[in-house]
Structure 1
Amino acid sequence: MGFLRKFLAWLMVPVLCLVGLVICLARPFNPDNTRIVGRMLAVVGRWVLGMERPLSGRDNLPWDRRTVIIANHQHNEDLFVFGDLVPPRTVTIGKSALIWAPVFGQVYWLAGNVLINRARSHKAVAVMQTTSDAITRENKGLWIFPEGTRSHGLELGRFKKGAFHAAVTSGAPITMICAGVYRGLCNGPAGRHEPVAVRVLPPVETKGLGIDDIPRLMEQCRQQMEETIEALSY
């Protein structure tokens, strides 16, 4: 039963992305496209999977100000865990290879998200600089997985500097969203997906910080997230 739930959940992704494609073609690169499509995918996906997602710290979600959001990245199911938590006018940072994913990749691009080729680090830095400028000029928020890859339910990986560079150079606060460790398992006769607890932490202000402060900021945020993930997991 669990396998069937997962199959149906991922089967509905391209179907809903076709709906999202219509929205994105009607208003290409609108920064609210990501929020609308993300909500559709998360709400329907959790319903199909039978996944419960206890959420604490909802009041810390930045609905009225632009921030850089960082979250831990465990599995592909993170799409269903986090998708409806994207605030207004927030875009995400993803790898350029996503553009080749049928339907999803085109929606991701047309939704105004930023694609980075990690093999060309000098260009990735330039993109992050442009993105940090957009926070100020275009009043956008950013959602980034600072580990840069999935942990598959293992310990929190090392953070990359991009999110913190964007936050410090734009003066935007950092908001951390943490999901407890999960393995993607399905339990019981109904095959319901295991619950995934999520907590939104208070924003960390970056005004007055400089480039030299980034390593300390990274360590501070990583430690807070690590402690929170551990508390949510046991």
Structure 2
Amino acid sequence: MPDKALIILHVVAGATTLISGLIAAFIGKKGGKLHRQVGSVFYWAMFGVFITALLIISFVRFSAFLMVIAVFSWYMTFSGVRVLKLKKTLKPLTIDWAAAIITMAFGLFSFGMGIHYLLKTDWSSVLGYLCMFFGFFTTQTGWQNFKGFRTLHKAEKMWWWFAHMNSMCGALIASITAFAVQNGEIFRLPNEMMWLPWVLPAIVGLPLVSYWAAKYRRQFKVGKYSPAQN
């Protein structure tokens, strides 16, 4: 496949994840028909982003940023969908265990790659810090899922709702980060503020996820809002 066509496919898939992800997050009832439909689009578009990213890295040009964020985003999306299956069976399949283990291994590799970049640049590489950041959270995500698979039968009420929400929102935040970084020039930021696209999606997104989690915990009466805790 010509390089240009591959890059175009990657861009189209990325744009689709952004649009469908934002619709799923902010429009329509959670779990409703629209949410499920755009959620399916988001899942397959993210799969397209993942595959095209791997092809670009392998055959066009290597990009540590693209590799790290593509793997993190895809695993978050994959695990976010798998949890909807696990809520019924409470029995992780081989693919669930394998994906978690591979993700942990990749996260550790990314963290180590970040240290390598930082040592080469006297601790001044933005890419190095990025690899360490996503490497840490990739490893943590894989480990939390791996650990959780062993205790699904003890999970709290509506555990799958929060696991799905956290995973899909994490994937969306990562996608927005990738878009902002790759297209930073459109924001016309001064040089001293070029770091902003790297952190702003998380600064805005994570508090929103925390707010939604607290809202639904109150609604479902779980955690500290459970009648048993009062």
Please tell me the TM-score bracket, short chain as reference: under 0.3
Q: Return the index of the structure with the highest Cα Rg.
A: 2
Q: Which has the higher helix share?
A: 2
Q: Which has the higher strand share?
A: 1
TM-score, reference length from structure 1? 0.27
Q: Which structure is higher in RCO with an 8 Å CA cutoff and minimum separation 6?
A: 1
